Structure 1
Amino acid sequence: MTNRRPVECWLTDMDGVLVHEEQAIPGAADFLKRLQDAGRRFLVLTNNSIYTPRDLRARLSASGIDLPEESIWTSALATAQFLQDQREGGSAYVIGEAGLTTALHDAGYIMTERDPDYVVLGETRTYSFEAITRAIRLIEDGARFIATNPDATGPSPQGPLPATGSIAALITKATGVEPYYVGKPNPLMMRSALNRIDAHSETTVMIGDRMDTDIVSGLEAGLRTILVLTGSTRPHQVDRHPFVPTRVVESIADVVPLIEQFAPAAE
């Protein structure tokens, strides 16, 4: 990282990097405060489409992390922006929670079960057989299939839960139609985040805990990447992938000194 352009902007994943099961990871609050004190542009990214940024801000605050809601970028927001760019003022049948429906409403989309332009699948804790059946029939009738992210499972205190990718696979099996995934590892989510904070890929770093989503999407978007070992990826798993992060560290606490180390020179 030392022989490239200074780092002006930072993107970071949320779960496994800043928090683990709603408990702050040591160093997370300090990392975000350092960014704010230094005036660095940054966004916290998450593939979770259940919650609005306001909800996530409240949940992070309860764990001791103070983060403005405008600094949170979700797969639901990225999906809404993508659909607005593709078909402004369109319509969608949505399976998901408030994070997704609110984002689509704010983008000017109409929620409907009658001849929608898109079926949009997000994450929810209450997937219903009736809703999935309706989605299958609408796709067979010509609706385009969009999913917020490909994550097959999500965490819970009791163990893994089926997530968007698993339900998407069920719908694909029934219809033969693959969804277009907007969230990580699609670099589209990274590029939409870069555009949101007016950042350039050559001067931005992506921090994540998953090689198969955070690191690969950062790499494909042209960013430098930092893998932390506090989440999904174990040290012995890093070399199994055909790509490598720019740097591997134990936790977000190890990234704090890098904010100033790789900062732009004072004007």
Structure 2
Amino acid sequence: MKKGFLIDMDGVIYKGKEPIPGAVEFIDKLRGENYPFLFLTNNSQRTSRDVCYKLRQLGFNVDDEDIFTCGMATARFLASKKPSGTAYVIGEGGLLNELHKVGYSIVDDNPDYVIIGEGRTIMLESVDKAINMVMNGAKLIATNLEPNCPVGNGKYRAGCGAFVAMLEFATGKQAFSVGKPSPVMMRMARKTLQLTTAETIMIGDTMSTDILGAGSMGFTTVLTLSGVTKEKHLTQYAYSPDFIIKSVNDLLTEELFNSVLHRQNEYVPSGL
């Protein structure tokens, strides 16, 4: 049985402006041994090409096709439900570009959907307009529901979920979210690699998105403690990953790598 990998990025293969030790070598291993992989991100700000450029600058041997964003998942989902639809968007270039790719028009009046993505320059005027559109019948879509995003040095900024919550409270309408842990994005990513459920392995650093989403789909789940979720957080969850590692550097060990491939002998690093 072939196996393939869905891999989160921030906190898994890089942190800030530096690759996590062993991450470049791990991706080289997957490439060299012909294991298909796809990077998943809940950030809709950048296009896959922009993300690929950043990874290449960090030393990763990747192509545009190796990136799958929640903006891509959102655009494809909406196109499957209402081809050639219209949308009012609070977000940035990556999301807008994906919507244009699937034939959507970005409008300022009477849209089919109001779509909320990440943005560093969100204006209250735009939020007010979105509220009125939803109240008048537009459907509310979230690229993801993450409440905040780490920006380095222990600091955070408001995430897409924070703005979505404001619109939900103001309109009384619940948003439909396409990004992790939604099965929509997880299923699309799996199908992109042409894998079955049993062939899919998810590596992530966040229990509430990566591990919850992949585990709910029946994928093999690998939690790395190099990012958001730490050892002290694990008791908060009623679910658990199949494997817990310190970082992807651990997966350069053949014994562990093979255990993950065959979903055998749950691995927990020494000291946990």
| TM-score, normalising length: structure 1 | 0.93
Match of 2:44 in 1: 49
Consecutive aligned runs of 4 or more in structure 1 exceeding 2 Å deviation: 256-264
> What secondary structure is seen at the aligned counterpart in 2 of 1:233?
coil
How many angstroms apart in 2 are the aligned matches of 1:56 and 1:66? 13
> What secondary structure is seen at the aligned counterpart in 2 of 1:156?
strand
1:78-100 Cα shifts (integer Å, max 9, x gaps): 00110011111111001111110
Match of 1:3 in 2: none
Q: Are positions 1:168 and 2:164 aligned together?
A: yes
Match of 2:109 in 1: 114
Q: Which amino acid aligns with 2:144?
A: N
> What secondary structure is seen at the aligned counterpart in 1 of 2:151?
coil
Q: Is the 8 A contact 1:7 1:263 kept in 2?
A: no
How far apart are 1:113 and its partner, in Å? Answer: 1.1
Q: How does 1:1-267 map to 2 (within 5 A)?
A: 8-157=3-152, 159-256=155-252, 257=254, 258-259=256-257
> What secondary structure is seen at the aligned counterpart in 2 of 1:253?
helix
Unaligned stretches of 5+ residues in structure 2:
263-272
1:40-92 Cα shifts (integer Å, max 9, x gaps): 11101000100001000111122222211101000000001100111111110
Q: Aligned pairs, how many? A: 259
How far apart are 1:221 and its partner, in Å? Answer: 1.0
Percent identity for Structure 1 against Structure 2: 37
How many angstroms apart in 2 are the aligned matches of 1:59 and 1:71? 13
Q: Is the 8 A contact 1:57 1:66 kept in 2?
A: no
Going from structure 1 to structure 2, the CA distance change for 1:261 and 1:216 (only over 3 Å counts) comes to: closer
| TM-score, normalising length: structure 2 | 0.92
How far apart are 1:236 and its partner, in Å? Answer: 2.0
Q: Which amino acid aligns with 2:94?
A: G
Q: Is the 8 A contact 1:34 1:259 kept in 2?
A: no
| Higher RCO, Cα 8 Å, sep 6+ | 1
How far apart are 1:11 and its partner, in Å? Answer: 0.7
Q: Is the 8 A contact 1:11 1:45 kept in 2?
A: yes
How far apart are 1:157 and its partner, in Å? Answer: 3.4
1:9-59 Cα shifts (integer Å, max 9, x gaps): 111111110111131111111111111111111101000100001000111
How many angstroms apart in 2 are the aligned matches of 1:192 and 1:255? 25
How many angstroms apart in 2 are the aligned matches of 1:98 and 1:149? 16
Q: Is the 8 A contact 1:150 1:165 kept in 2?
A: yes
Q: Is the 8 A contact 2:8 2:210 kept in 1?
A: yes
How many angstroms apart in 1 are the aligned matches of 2:101 and 2:141? 18
> What secondary structure is seen at the aligned counterpart in 1 of 2:114?
strand
Q: Which amino acid aligns with 2:166?
A: L
Q: Is the 8 A contact 2:116 2:142 kept in 1?
A: yes
How many angstroms apart in 2 are the aligned matches of 1:21 and 1:86? 37
